[in-house]
Amino acid sequence: MARMSGTAARAEALLGHGVISTTPVAGGDICTSTRLRLSDGRNAIIKTRPQPPEGFFAREAEGLKWLAEAKGARVAELLAVADDCIIVAWVEPGKPTTDAAERLGQSLAALHAAGAEQFGADVDGYIGLAPLPNRPLPTWPEFYASRRVMPYVRAAVDRKALSIEQANTIEAAMRRIHDFAGEAEPPARIHGDLWSGNVVWGTDGDAWLIDPAAHGGHRETDLAMLALFGLPHLQRVLDAYDEAAPLAEGWKERVGLHQLHPLLVHAVLFGGTYGARATAAAQSLLDGPSED
């Protein structure tokens, strides 16, 4: 009760409204999440973490605002942020529908089309609790290899989540990334951590995006991330996206390339089979597309 009282007081100080009730929200091992019922009738969610990394919540807040500015995909509304917490509007969870999936595909296309000034961002960020190097580079293949894949290969080796042989396979794929990357595209405005858990299917009939690791990247990255852990009605999302903003030839063969980074992040954070999966994705690139 004392923790909840402290959370309510923190929210009241930041929002300028009373908190009528608090309810713990299950899920997530990075932050403590609490639903707030406010005196003005709104509902919100506050995420807290003792002694978070520097700029942890600030980067999330900046990402939410930057994505929302595109007026594409629905993004949870930022209400307040401080060093130790972030508060966003509550999205009442509902059931995924094919209509919502179609709108998600269309709105993701609009979000990506809003673009970015560069591949990367002005400041480094986080993906989960893991650091996310964002220093810009001129092309996406350079950025992806140098800022996304290789830092995590090194970290995974250090944590013994990858063997030296596995790391060499992934590095070999990155040396040839220009062979796999497809036609050059301008920087897209991407969510950056768009796994299914960061899509909330609302009772209002829309899908909402939360918890971004936003930066200028490749639009196929978000789509590959949606496929990595499965998303309800994923094919409807992809079809609607492709109709709104046709994907470049060969995009299906590049899914494994774009999944390398999140697989390596999971290898670093959780170990298990993620290192082997990342190695297999890299090897499939080196082997080339299979012939039926």
Active site residues: 193
Q: How many CB atoms neighbour CB 94 within 10 A?
A: 15
Longest distance between any two alpha carbons in the chain, whole Å: 63
Distance in Å from the first CA to the final CA of the chain: 62
* Contact predicate 242/110, CB 8 Å: no
List alpha helices for the chain, DSSP H.
2-15, 56-69, 98-113, 140-143, 150-158, 164-175, 177-180, 219-228, 234-244, 255-270, 274-287
Q: How many CB atoms neighbour CB 201 within 10 A?
A: 23
